[in-house]
Chain A
Amino acid sequence: MSNVVISVENLSKEYRLGQIGTGTLSRDINVWWAKVRGNANPMLRLGETDHGNRAGESLWALKDVSFTVEQGEALGIIGRNGAGKSTLLKILSRVTAPTSGRVKVKGRIASLLEVGTGFHPDLTGRENTYLNGAILGMTRREVHRKLDEIVAFAEIERFIDTPVKRYSSGMYVRLAFAVAAHLDPEILVVDEVLAVGDVEFQKKCLGKMGDVTHEGRTVLFVSHNMNAISSLCSSGLLFELGKLTQSGTILKVVQDYLQSAANKLDRGKVKLEIPLDAPFFIKTISICNDQGNIISSISKNDRIVIKIEGNSNIVSERNMVAIDIKNNEDNLLFRTHSIEQFRFSKDVNKLGNFTLNCIIPANLLPAGTYRVGIISALTGIRELQNLQSALEFDVYQDQLLGNQFIGSRGILTPQCEWSLEKNAN
């Protein structure tokens, strides 16, 4: 007897694109009647050809996907938007049926595609806990037994008898997650629900989900948060355009995902889209070395110059540019604001083009690939441009040190000043 608890066999899901039929019965009957009499479809605009469910007008959200999940496995499912992750979860949660193939499951599945499903705004927190618990598949007795635990986890003891419509969004989400986190299924399917709530609570949820996997329960987890997914899951599946393209340990899959061709960014110099009504905007961003040459990789021992060219129709102290540096796992290492160092002012700038240089000190970033995000804004008024991943560059190590134990470690490797104090006596 094997330990396989989920077996997915040649699973496919087809969506027909566009509207199915005309949407109203009377028109469908019209079309059908015209067809019977051999007339043209009366609902078509002039010059249009018949779109009635033609072959080829479909989208395979999932195509021939097979995999197995063993008991106690924490499986992370990653992929870009539209890769089929959510469709897979929907099929596993039985919200929709597959087009072909099948899934065999051992044990009770609970799925969490959204928190707070079925909450009624007029009911109190306590009442909603019972209702939501029942919707997720708990019996009243189970909810009753766990009520205190749920309320404590959500940290809403004082408000449990207040209608949830008076809750802050944070409280609402906390209660909703708390109910879901106290389900006792053998298999838990979780969509990106952790993207909500404050950071503290997110950590708590991750902790709770970690507990779940340690208790030998099986978890399927979809997220764009590579951090969460790597810390929670042991193995991973990578989806691309409805196909399963990679499976294995989570670290390997995450790395492949981040490096996959579809995910590659430009290097060197990038032009930004110029917003229509921005009084102040960035036109290009480029990575240079100290000599001002545009480069795509740079030595760890060199300073990195990020050159930003833009245009300003107003010169205001509020003009601001910020740069995000992220590492390969998509963690934000730091954000730096131009406004920390200087302000745009009439003495220095005239209206029109400007060039900004932002220098990242040498030796700060260890060898690896980095992404640059860029933001332009009028501080305190509005954001103008925000490009999460504008371009990327490599940092390499010039020469390997003889002894690897001496090499610096960590996400950042700044050169710190060390000194030895003379003994006083």
Chain B
Amino acid sequence: MPRRVAIIATGQTKHAARRLDVTIAELITEAVTRALEDADLTLRDIDAVLLGNMEPFEGFLFPELWAVEAWGGYLKPSVKFNTGGTVGTTTAIAAYYYVASGIYDTVMAIGFQKQSEGHTQTAITTVGDPIWERSVMAGAIGNFAVMATTYMHESGVTEEQAAKAAVKARRNACLNEYAHLQMPDITVEDVLKSEMLAYPVKRLDMCPQSDGAVAVIFAEESKAVRLAPRPAWIAAVATAHEQQYMGDSPKRLAEMRSLIAASRRAYQYAGITNPRRELDVAEIYEVASFAELAMYENLGFCAKGEGGKLIDAGVTELTGELPVNPSGGVMSTNPIGATALIRVAEAALQIMGKAGRRQVEGARTALATGYGGNAWTDVIILTREKP
């Protein structure tokens, strides 16, 4: 059996549209320094450092090489991960494996991205197969748009219901000192009137492009208990991949096969049979408003086709039965290499009771997901109780 692992500390930068005052390396150092301070540890106490990033966004290849001193990797065991949108959760899952294996006791996972250095939609378009897809594909916006029309057709979800998710996100973000987009007065009307990027996705339905970094420290049981008053235990991790072409699972939001597979596996491992009831909070990787509603269905928070009804009923508001993305989610903050790890950090903060004004009272079981272009999904479940 793998040994018990918990998250004991996190550190984030204040995410922003453009951090022109720092290089990528300096941005990473900020997050790492904060995580070490949060843990009251020094780099000497960290046995391995795992780094997650997507180079095509900055055009800076092999950050694990040229920024090694900035992220505390000098002469340490370390690996760089590069798995698209999921890279943050992949790095977290890897950190869990490193510690659970018994080989390393304390491991730091780092995620970062400086979207402002490159062109996000352009880089995402290179994810499209060069021979079959790239000349048609229009970045993440285009992908979500074509998926959203299918989803709306299948489920009856409306643009208005999707807009509610967009409003929830930017209002929740006002309670999160690290969030990029904070819009206390945003309304459904504002979202519906915002610029149409690609039908049905409007500007306010879509996530921003952010510069930001996050670091999360994982420790084995005895260290975790000693170092953190309330560690966030990793109760389950799961990863699943899809078929590779965009059109292979054409109902990509209506039926997110990799999310269904990964979440069911994680629920089973963690002994969860009714996620809506048994999860106290979820930090999910929702790139766009429509995706959030689809994820409710695919995660089993409600029946197929009922995603719109769930948000109408207020179930996923901060005050609802199952708060989703109290941090403001991806729709408020999206430095892609960091984003999925931010989900993990935010879920951990909830368990640890350190989520400040966005704290869900009494959170004992939290879900974090990572999303990689529909092609793959990571799921992590954190609990207050030792697994």
Q: Do A and B come from one complex?
A: no
A residues near B, CB below 8 A? none
